């Protein structure tokens, strides 16, 4: 029966179920929402802030990425490979941990303000809109650098040899080779960051708030959690969906590159120019590395010694989170695998579209919708953990599909006919062909899904629960100013997230 | 009898048609220019393609709606005949059970088949550690074990040098005699056709001509085939 289902149409069935779940949830949100007149000027301010901060974060990330990527592209130095690999780490770094790090460096007790005070200069604040932008740049600068760096490495080295032989000065190289590349790459890189920042919740929750730094996602949370105004939350959810859909429509004209992937970096590039440009390149790399590593280093130094003193409820939360993350990752993998295998056999626009639907629905919108749908069945207390697991599994799906679909297509092309001619179907095909051939992308996708679920502080915050996940526990410690415990919990959360990714990814490589 | 009755397949402005009767145990070469439809013919018989019209039957049993793995045939492709992540014994064992849950007796048969193609002691090796000729032998061991009454060969030895290729054809000849299978071999080398096949099907512009004795065909080729061959053989 299972084998039969697998062969006949588990792909479309699962895709239809997923689409039904997401669209049904959105429909519940729409049904609950009142007319747009329900939006106050405060809410419109949140809409404007959401778009404005996303645009500004994307612009700053893109501008700063250019010198860093250029320096990485044309210089070779010890630790360069490690640095490029580390640029991929923020994708699975829990947001709340990074926020702890930024507070440790840029907060009132941080090194920057200590220095400013010593120089009798005015202090800076990490809270408010500037904090939101700072955190977004922290997360997305590495992503932008990777995307722009890929652009640089995509320029054939023969071009640079030709430029060398023609005696091009750096200015000529820039005009003939680099600027055309940047014109092609930067819009996509900008849009990728813009999309990520549109649904920003945790950063706004921890660093923003108030009239001048509230995103729509945060407004949904406040309406749901503090006002318990479900129709307001639903209305804001609709606004959030509209913003995301509008932004995604832009991707029809501008291709958004995949926002992760192993840092392929085996190309021989050209000799960078000598002279003062060596100095500026070194500076760009050093500043970028410091900006990324310092906060993580600071929170690690602060938190590591306190780990043995962590209260037992933090450890309980950690175990709860690991179990939830693993279940969530396995759910993602099962759904993504069935859909990818189906797509490999026959391309189907709507099945692929269903897999990308989570990009339209933000976690908080899904959480609100699922609560509306299920509130008569169970209370918020009982719903908190299952809904969190489900939403996290859905949110990781687009990334898992992006990793699995190309691999599944290759497998189908290479071995589909051989397997068919030997009558390998169902479980035998899964065991002897699919899992061995797709072990690496399956491990990678599972690692991403597990790490994302582990670090997520989204849906769980909606529900008042006495069973917090580790990120929620960390946030609670932070807001009650137990900074030593919060730092230790942050180190723990970071270590577990990276360990989960490593175990899945490694497992896939060894299989 | 393998019947391909009034087969028609349309593909983006291209039409393929075949109407053939092939006797059990026969050895038939399929030759013709590339793109003429040689692989299409094999894919239709194997079940990778479904004809728009017509039917395919073996000994009176209609195969048209039967999936490839359930048809009474084995296929050797141009490449990718082995799973690179499975060892030699597993790759051969798949011919007996697609889920590889083999009994002791079946495992013995696998070992004998491997020894039979001259690869004794290679059971645990992965395909990547074998030469091209050895990989072909593994695939042939599986064919031997499956012992299906039809064997389709889509230029499986095209990548091998002349000496290895004739070695493989000899092995194939022996397997054919042992299993009594109807063998259909796509080739672009008229010498292969002469060495191997009593009869030859010429495929041209999507049309399959009825099998004719290879020797006669090559000695006095029709004009279209002469253009392809460049000269007469035999």
Chain A and chain B share a number of CB contacts under 8 A equal to: 57
Nearest to B217 by CA among B88, B32, B52, B17: B32
What is the C-alpha end-to-end distance of chain B, expressed in Å?
29
pLDDT, chain B, mean: 91
* Lookup: tokens for B46: 């194997």
Q: Is residue A410 part of a domain?
A: yes
Residues in chain A with CB shorter than 8 Å from the CB of B74 are 421
Instruction: Please say if the pLDDT value at position B93 is more than 80.
Output: yes
Determine the Cα–Cα distance for residues A487 and A305; give it in Å rounded to an integer. 10
Contact A417 B74 (CB under 8 A): no
Q: How far is B80 from chain A (nearest CA, A)?
A: 6
Cα(A510)–Cα(B107) distance, integer angstroms: 27
CB contacts of B69 in chain A (<8 Å) are 420-425
Which chain A residue shows the shortest CA-CA distance from B95?
A: A422
CA diameter of chain A:
79
- How far apart CA A132 and CA A123 sit, in angstroms, is 17
CB pair distance less than 8 Å for B98 and A425: yes
Query: What is residue A313's predicted lDDT score, i.e. its pLDDT?
Result: 93
CB B197 within 8 A of CB B29: yes
Q: pTM for the complete prediction?
A: 0.85
Which chain B residue lies closest to A424 (C-alpha atoms)? Answer: B98
Same domain, A284 and A321: no
- State residue B154 phi and psi, 5-degree precision: -105, 75
Pair (A233, A371) in one structural domain: no
Is B99 within 8 Å of A418 when comparing Cβ atoms? no
Determine, for residues A432 and B69 on separate chains, whether the beta-carbon distance falls below 8 Å.
no
Tokens coding A237: 């959810």
Contacts of B46 in chain A (CB under 8 A): 417, 421
Q: Which domain holds residue A13?
A: 1-31+310-511
Q: Which pLDDT does position A329 carry in this prediction?
A: 97
Bridge-based pairing state of the strands B53-58 and B61-62:
antiparallel
CA angle A26, A476, A41 (to 5 degrees): 50
CB B68 to CB A424 under 8 A? Answer: no
Residues A237 and A231: their CA atoms lie apart, in Å, by 9
Q: Are residues A252 and A373 in the same domain?
A: no
User: Cα angle vertex B65, ends B62, B67, to 5°?
Assistant: 110
**What is the pLDDT averaged over residues B200-223?**
89
Mean pLDDT for the stretch of residues B124-149: 93
- Does residue A214 sit within a domain? yes
Residue B8 banded pLDDT, cuts 50, 70, 90? very high
B70 vs A contacts (CB less than 8 Å) = 423
R_g of chain B computed on alpha carbons = 18
* CB-closest option in A423, A427, A429 to B70: A423
Task: Kindly determine whether residue A417 and residue B94, on different chains, have CB atoms separated by under 8 Å.
Answer: no
Q: Between β-strands B27-31 and B73-76, what pairing exists: parallel, antiparallel or unpaired?
A: unpaired
3-state SS assignment for residue A463 = coil
Same domain, yes or no: A199 and A225 = yes
Q: What pLDDT sits at residue A270?
A: 56
Interface of A with B in 425-464 (CB under 8 A): 425, 427-429, 431-433, 436-437
Choose the mutation target among B50, B66, B94 for the interface with A, i.e. most A CBs under 10 Å. Answer: B94
> Does residue A36 form part of some domain?
no
Q: Which residues, other chains included, contact B2 with Cβ-Cβ below 8 Å and sequence gap of 6+?
A: B20, B21, B22, B24, B45, B56, B57, B58, B150, B182
Is residue A273 domain-shared with residue A342, that is, in the same domain? no
Round to whole Å and give the CA distance between B26 and B200.
Answer: 10
Q: How far apart are CA A117 and CA A121, in angstroms?
A: 6
In the numeric block, which tokens belong to residue B10? 């349309």
Looking at the structure, tell me whether residues A283 and A327 fall in a common domain. Answer: no
| Cross-chain Cβ contact B77/A425 below 8 Å | no
User: CB neighbours of B39 closer than 8 A, spacing ≥ 6?
Assistant: B154, B186
**B-chain residues near A427 (CB < 8 A):** 99
Chain B hits for A437, Cβ within 8 Å:
85
Angstrom distances, CA of residue A347 to CA of A44, B78, B218: 41, 25, 44
Cα A45 from Cα A218, distance rounded (Å): 12
Domain end (from A242, A275, A301) = A301
Domain count, chain A: 2
Contact A79, A290 (CB under 8 A): no
- Could you say which of A414, A420, A431 has the minimum Cβ distance to residue B69? A420
Main-chain dihedrals φ then ψ at residue A36, nearest 5 degrees = -60, -20
Q: Checking phi first, is residue A79 left (phi over 0); if not, alpha (psi -120 to 50) or beta?
A: left
pLDDT tens by residue, A52-62: 999 999 999 99
Q: Give the sign of the dihedral formed by CA B155, CA B160, CA B163, CA B168.
A: negative
3-state secondary structure B10-60: EECCEEEEEEEEECCCCEEEEECCCCCCHHHHHHHHHCCCCCCEEEEEECC
Backbone angles phi, psi at B3, to 5 degrees: -105, 130
Partner-chain contact A424 B46, CB within 8 Å: no
Final residue belonging to a domain, choices A247, A282, A301: A301
Measured distance CA(B193)–CA(B35) in Å, rounded = 19
Closest to B75 (Cβ–Cβ): which among A421, A425, A432? A421
Closest chain A residue by Cα to residue B100: A428
Q: Is B155 left (phi over 0), alpha (psi -120 to 50) or beta?
A: left
Which CATH number do you get for residue A182?
1.10.3720.10
- Note whether B69 contacts A422, CB cutoff 8 Å: yes
Same-domain check for residues A384 and A406: yes
Q: Which pLDDT score, from 0 to 100, does residue A374 have?
A: 86
Does residue A439 sit in the same domain as residue A492?
A: yes
Give per-10-residue mean pLDDT for chain A (511 aa): 54 87 86 74 90 95 94 87 87 92 89 88 88 94 90 80 80 83 88 89 89 89 86 88 85 64 47 78 91 92 91 95 97 94 86 84 86 83 89 93 92 93 92 93 95 92 86 93 92 96 91 75
Query: Does residue A333 belong to any structural domain of this protein?
Result: yes
Identify which has the larger pLDDT, B20 or A346.
Answer: B20
Please tell me the distance in Å from B99's CA to the nearest CA on chain A. 5
Residue of B47, B68, B80 lying closest to A415 (CB–CB)? B80
Q: Tell me, what's the pLDDT at A245?
A: 86
Q: Confirm or reject contact between A346 and chain B (CB < 8 A).
A: no
User: How far apart are the CA of A454 and the nearest CA of chain B, in angstroms?
Assistant: 33
Total residue length of chain A: 511
Q: Which residues of B156-192 are buried (b: 16+ CB within 10 A; e: fewer)?
A: bbeebeeebbbbbbebbeebbeebebbbbbbbebbeb
CB nearest to B100's CB, from A418, A423, A432: A432
Instruction: Identify whether A104 is part of a domain.
Output: yes
The answer to whether A425 contacts B83, with C-beta atoms less than 8 Å apart, is no
What is the reported pLDDT for A264?
Answer: 43
Domain check: are A156 and A234 in the same one?
Answer: yes
Say what the pLDDT of residue B232 is: 62
Within-domain flag for A499: yes
A8 touches chain B (CB under 8 A): no
Q: Which two tokens stand for residue A117?
A: 């005070």
**Averaged pLDDT for residues B202-231:** 86
CB contact under 8 A, B94 and A424: yes
Q: Smallest Cα–Cα separation from A182: which of A194, A174, A192, A171?
A: A174
Write the CB contacts of A369 (distance below 8 Å, at least 6 apart in sequence). Answer: A24, A25, A26, A28, A29, A234, A237, A361
Which residues from chain B sit within 8 angstroms of residue A431, using beta carbons? 99
| b/e burial code for range A465-492 (CB count within 10 A of at least 16 → b) | beebbbbbbbbbbbeeeebebbbbbbbb
Average pLDDT over residues B133-147: 93
Q: Are residues A125 and A271 in the same domain?
A: yes
Q: Per the CB < 8 Å rule, is A418 touching B77?
A: yes
Q: Is the same domain home to A327 and A457?
A: yes
Closest residue in B to A432 (Cα–Cα): B99
Q: Does A4 touch chain B (CB under 8 A)?
A: no
* Residue A39 belongs to some domain of the structure: no
Chain-chain contact of B69 with A421 (C-beta, under 8 angstroms):
yes
Together in a domain, A297 and A394: no
Nearest to A140 by CA among A273, A287, A288: A288
Position A261 scores a pLDDT of 43
Neighbours of B125 (CB within 10 A): 15
Tell me: the pLDDT tens digits for B29-64?
999 888 889 999 999 999 999 999 999 999 999 999
CB-CB under 8 Å, B94 with A422: yes
CB contact under 8 Å between B68 and A431, yes or no, is no
Distances (CA, A) of B45 to B53, B67, B150, B168, B187: 13, 11, 10, 23, 17
Pair B7, B51: CB distance under 8 Å: yes
- Asked whether residue A37 is domain-assigned, the answer is no
């Amino acid at each position: 029966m299972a084998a039969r289902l697998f062969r006949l149409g588990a792909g479309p069935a699962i895709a239809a179920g997923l689409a039904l779940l997401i669209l049904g949830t959105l429909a519940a949100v729409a049904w609950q929402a009142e007319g747009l007149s329900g939006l106050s000027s405060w809410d419109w301010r949140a809409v404007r802030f959401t778009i404005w901060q996303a645009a500004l974060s994307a612009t700053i990330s893109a501008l700063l990425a250019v010198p860093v990527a250029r320096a990485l592209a044309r210089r070779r130095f010890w630790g360069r490979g490690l640095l490029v690999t580390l640029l991929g780490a923020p994708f699975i770094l829990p947001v709340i941990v990074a926020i702890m790090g930024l507070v440790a460096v840029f907060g009132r007790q941080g090194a920057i303000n200590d220095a400013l005070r010593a120089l009798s200069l005015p202090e800076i604040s990490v809270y408010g809109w500037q904090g939101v932008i700072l955190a977004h740049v922290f997360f997305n600068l590495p992503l932008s650098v990777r995307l722009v760096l890929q652009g640089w490495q995509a320029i054939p080295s023969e071009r640079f040899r030709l430029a060398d032989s023609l005696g091009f000065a750096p200015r000529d190289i820039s005009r003939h080779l680099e600027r055309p590349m940047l014109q092609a790459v930067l819009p996509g890189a900008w849009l990728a960051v813009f999309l990520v920042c549109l649904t920003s919740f945790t950063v706004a929750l921890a660093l923003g708030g108030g009239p001048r730094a509230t995103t729509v996602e945060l407004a949904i949370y406040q309406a749901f959690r503090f006002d318990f105004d479900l129709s307001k939350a639903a209305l804001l959810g609709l606004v959030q969906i509209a913003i995301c859909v509008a932004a995604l429509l832009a991707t029809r004209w501008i291709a958004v590159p995949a926002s992760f992937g192993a840092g392929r970096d085996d190309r021989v590039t050209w000799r960078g120019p000598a002279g003062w440009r060596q100095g500026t390149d070194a500076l760009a790399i050093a500043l970028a590395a410091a900006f990324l590593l310092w906060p993580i280093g600071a929170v690690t130094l602060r938190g590591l010694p306190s780990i043995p003193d962590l209260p037992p409820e933090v450890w309980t939360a950690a175990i709860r989170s690991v179990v939830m993350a693993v279940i969530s990752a396995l759910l993602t993998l099962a759904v993504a695998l069935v859909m990818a295998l189906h797509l490999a056999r026959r391309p189907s626009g709507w099945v692929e579209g269903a897999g990308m639907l989570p990009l339209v629905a933000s976690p908080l919108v899904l959480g609100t919708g699922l609560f509306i749908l299920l509130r008569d069945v169970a209370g918020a207390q009982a719903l908190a953990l299952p809904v969190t697991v489900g939403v996290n599994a859905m949110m990781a799906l687009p990334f898992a599909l992006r990793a699995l679909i190309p691999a599944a297509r290759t497998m189908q092309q290479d071995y589909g006919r051989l397997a068919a001619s030997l009558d390998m179907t169902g479980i035998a095909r899964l065991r002897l062909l699919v899992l061995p051939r797709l072990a690496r992308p399956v491990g990678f996708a599972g690692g991403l899904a597990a790490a994302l679920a582990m670090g997520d502080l989204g849906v769980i915050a909606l529900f008042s629960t006495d069973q917090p996940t580790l990120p929620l526990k960390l946030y609670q410690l932070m807001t009650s100013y137990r900074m030593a415990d919060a730092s230790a919990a942050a180190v723990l959360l970071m270590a577990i997230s990276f360990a989960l990714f490593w175990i899945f990814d490694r497992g896939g490589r060894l299989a | 009898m393998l019947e391909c009755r009034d087969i028609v397949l349309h593909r983006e402005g291209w039409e393929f048609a075949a109407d053939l009767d092939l006797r059990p145990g026969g050895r038939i070469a399929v030759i013709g220019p590339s793109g003429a439809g040689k692989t299409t013919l094999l894919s239709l018989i194997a079940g990778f393609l479904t004809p728009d019209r017509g039917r395919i039957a073996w000994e009176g049993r209609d195969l048209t709606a039967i999936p490839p793995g359930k048809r009474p045939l084995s296929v050797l492709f141009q490449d990718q005949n082995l799973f690179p992540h499975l060892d030699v014994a597993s790759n051969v064992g798949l011919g007996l059970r697609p889920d590889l849950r083999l009994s002791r007796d079946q495992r013995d048969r696998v070992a004998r088949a491997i020894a039979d193609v001259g690869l004794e002691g290679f059971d645990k090796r992965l395909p990547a550690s074998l030469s091209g000729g050895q990989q072909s032998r593994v695939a042939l061991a599986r064919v031997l074990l499956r012992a299906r009454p039809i064997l389709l060969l889509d230029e499986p030895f095209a990548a091998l040098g002349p000496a290895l290729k004739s070695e493989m054809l000899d092995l194939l000849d022996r397997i054919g005699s042992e299993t009594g299978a109807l063998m259909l071999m796509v080739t672009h080398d008229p010498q292969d056709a002469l060495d191997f096949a009593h009869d030859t099907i010429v495929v041209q512009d999507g049309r399959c001509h009825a099998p004719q004795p290879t020797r006669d065909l090559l000695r006095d080729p029709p004009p279209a085939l002469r253009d392809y061959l460049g000269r007469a053989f035999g």
